[in-house]
Amino acid sequence: MAPAAGGLDSKECATGYEEKFGSELEEGSDLRSKTKTEEKMNRRYKQLAARGIEPRLYNVWVDMRQHCNNPNNQVYSYYGGRGIRVCKRWDKFENFVTDVGPHPGKGWTLDRKNNNGHYRPSNIRWATRSTQQRNKRTTKLTVADVIAIRARYRYRENQYTPGMGYQQLADEYGVGRTTIENIVKRVKWKNIS
């Protein structure tokens, strides 16, 4: 790799760190150093925590507002671009905190119960990623469908064996064979009986 302009021999990584090469490495130093952006974020988190504000919850609030209000945001077309809005009450972070409560922890996200509805107290909940994945516009199956698929599936040794196989169920429900197989084997929708 040729040195970058200005004689620096480094590249920015997708991880948010700057990787250093060759002459830039000091003996015994870590291969990565924090970027200014990450240092700025860490200072911001400390400032929020000092004011009694949970940084994770604050980020959820900021992201929600950016998704719905900022046309330059990468995912705006999926939120604000579709007409999804944030209720006026949540223009103030304090009101948002009062309505949604503390962040439940790692692995939980803010989810709209009605995916086509707005961000407002009656339409949000804390959900795991798997719950949120089932609540997407692209999800074709419902909980009732999953229960029916599991009830109707039977391993078929041949075409004369009663029951339905993966491909038959996939054709009927308009999804891929692998989706049906993953439902039957409880790889997907694990917590549905």
pLDDT tens profile 124-149: 999 887 777 666 666 678 888 888 88
pTM equals 0.55
pLDDT at 12: 35
- Amino acid code (one letter) for 141: L
Using CA atoms, how far residue 52 sits from 19, 46, 106, 146, in Å, is 34, 10, 19, 43
**Does the pLDDT at position 31 exceed 50?**
no
Whether the CB-CB separation of 119 and 80 falls below 8 Å is answered with: no
Averaged confidence pLDDT in the chain: 76
Q: How confident is the model at residue 21 (pLDDT cuts 50, 70, 90)?
A: very low
- Amino acid code (one letter) for 81: G
pLDDT at 93: 92
List CB contacts of 166: < 8 A, sequence separation 6 or more. 153, 177, 180, 181, 184
pLDDT at 167: 83
pLDDT tens profile 48-91: 888 888 889 999 999 999 999 999 999 998 899 989 999 999 99
- The residue count of the chain comes to 193
pLDDT tens profile 143-190: 888 888 888 887 655 555 556 788 888 888 777 788 888 888 888 888
DSSP secondary structure, 79-148, as one string: TGGGT--B-GGGGSHHHHHHHH-S---TTEEEEESSTTS-BSGGGEEEEEHHHHHHTSTT----HHHHHH
Measured distance CA(143)–CA(178) in Å, rounded: 18
- Residue recorded with tokens 């620096």: 8
List CB contacts of 121: < 8 A, sequence separation 6 or more. 87, 89, 99, 100
